[in-house]
Amino acid sequence: MAEPDREALARQVAQVYREQSRRILATLIRLLGDFDLAEEALHEAFFVAVERWQADGVPDNPRAWLVSVGRFKAIDALRRRARFAASQAALLSQLEQLEQDDWSVEDVQDDRLRLIFTCCHPALAADAQVPLTLREICDLSTEEIARAFLVAPATIAQRIVRAKAKIRDAGIPYQVPQLSELPERLESVLRVIYLVFNEGYSASMGAELTRDELTREAIRLGHLLLELLPEAEVMGLLALMLLHESRRAARISATGELILLDEQDRSLWQQDLIEEGCALVERGLRSGQAGPYCLQAAIAAVHAEAASAEHTDWAQIVGLYDVLLRLQPSPVIQLNRAVALAKRDGPAAGLEQVQAILDRGDLQDYHLAHAARADFCRQLGQIAAARESYQHALALARQDPERRFLEQRLAQLGAC
């Protein structure tokens, strides 16, 4: 194969890995019943793909091909282990079962949803469910997950290891639970799907602001979950994701720079997603069972329905945040309310609220809190305080577009 063809194949394999690897892993976990064996099989399959696809070309269905190769690689690995541990009856039984089982590509469509429910099984420790899912579904590193939870990476790693061992030792099944079991698992599953979406909508670190394969997958899972359980909070979560996703094309400039909501070209917003999202918000609110996701979606809908930033109904948004805070007290929600309050009542009102949050010791490691404080100080002419907060935010930010935005703000202050 010519060198340019090798480079093209390498790019294609990398794209398949980026877009399909977590779906392939979910299927391998279901087939093999073992996280570590499945991860090993996944990487073996991609290694084989680099060699085979050079000679044979890329198959019509790369995902099915990789699942099949990964499964056989796992069987080979188990066979080798069995030769050195023939007394392990469980290992031999697993090998026999895998060699006899058959599967088809039609069986794999919902494997990621099955895996999410497995990772959110009530038998697992609550503080391990979301990290495990983010690791296996999103391929986030322990460092990235630790940043999201503001804990040490070693702590996250221990939680993930213990959760995997619990799934294995307790024989927790890889399946979507019965309808009667769904409600008790719903809160964790909704939280996980939203975290998957958020990592795609605003990546926790790196050169790119977004990872569209994650937002698409989160929305797909949201639709699947709505079919299983058409409850208000499922509608609210799906609506929230759709309304945020509708703004994707307007959030980044042609050169990859971050564009704030007030400055976005609203003609780029996807009206079909806005219409679907707003309709789901209305259904959720009419049900009388609206919770935090419905209220967050209602806030997003107010933004989506405003013809311009100047026409945004900030009083309604502040009111929705007040209700949301009563249902779900959170310093992040308080921060978002402070931003809305500043839009309604002026930057001094917003600064007072953000300063109170920081003075309590909340959100000290959250760059957006310091960025909000800096912005309010800038608007009030408190240049030294604004510079200090922008520098603090910059030291905490890990995403390149956000860092460039903060650097631009600091440079603008230099002229003041």
Q: What is the mean pLDDT of residues 226-253?
A: 92
Model pLDDT, residue 97:
53
Domains of the chain: 1-101 (1.10.1740), 341-416 (1.25.40)
Closest by Cα among 115, 142, 147 to 22: 115
Model pLDDT, residue 301:
97
Model pLDDT, residue 108:
41
Model pLDDT, residue 84:
57
Q: Are 320 and 313 in contact (CB under 8 A)?
A: no
Q: Give the integer Cα–Cα distance in Å for 193 and 198.
A: 9
Q: Give the integer Cα–Cα distance in Å for 238 and 42.
A: 30
User: Does residue 92 carry a pLDDT above 70?
Assistant: no
Tokens in use for 204?
């926790």
Q: How confident is the model at residue 332 (pLDDT cuts 50, 70, 90)?
A: very high
Q: What is the mean pLDDT of residues 72-92?
A: 65
User: Does residue 312 carry a pLDDT above 90?
Assistant: yes
Q: What are phi and psi of 253, to 5 degrees?
A: -75, 175
Model pLDDT, residue 370:
97
Q: How confident is the model at residue 101 (pLDDT cuts 50, 70, 90)?
A: low
Q: Give the integer Cα–Cα distance in Å for 175 and 384.
A: 56
Model pLDDT, residue 89:
52
Q: What is the mean pLDDT of residues 46-69?
A: 87
Closest by Cα among 250, 241, 322 to 277: 241
Q: Are 95 and 78 in contact (CB under 8 A)?
A: yes
Q: How many C-beta neighbours within 10 Å does residue 189 have? A: 25
Q: Count Cα neighbours of 63 within 13 Å in the Cβ-side half-sphere.
A: 19
> In sequence order, what are the residues at sequence separation of 6 or more whose Cβ sits closer than 8 angstroms to the Cβ of residue 260?
none
Q: Give the integer Cα–Cα distance in Å for 41 and 400.
A: 33
Each residue's pLDDT tens digit, 11-38:
888 888 888 888 888 888 888 877 888 8
> In sequence order, what are the residues at sequence separation of 6 or more whose Cβ sits closer than 8 angstroms to the Cβ of residue 245?
201, 215, 219, 270, 273
User: Does residue 142 carry a pLDDT above 50?
Assistant: yes
| Per-range mean pLDDT, top range of 3-7, 98-102, 149-153, 187-191 | 187-191
Model pLDDT, residue 79:
75
**Amino acid identity at 57:** G
User: Does residue 382 carry a pLDDT above 80?
Assistant: yes
* Percent with pLDDT over 70 in the chain: 89
Task: Determine if the pTM surpasses 0.85.
Answer: no
Mean pLDDT score of the chain:
85
Q: How confident is the model at residue 148 (pLDDT cuts 50, 70, 90)?
A: low
Q: How confident is the model at residue 363 (pLDDT cuts 50, 70, 90)?
A: very high
Q: How many C-beta neighbours within 10 Å does residue 94 have? A: 20
Cα 85–chain centre separation? 40
User: Does residue 343 carry a pLDDT above 50?
Assistant: yes
User: Does residue 104 carry a pLDDT above 90?
Assistant: no
Model pLDDT, residue 105:
43
Each residue's pLDDT tens digit, 191-229:
888 988 887 787 655 556 667 778 888 898 899 888 878
Model pLDDT, residue 82:
63
Q: Count Cα neighbours of 309 within 13 Å in the Cβ-side half-sphere.
A: 8
Q: Which residue has the higher pLDDT, 167 or 313?
A: 313
Closest by Cα among 186, 37, 213, 219 to 117: 186
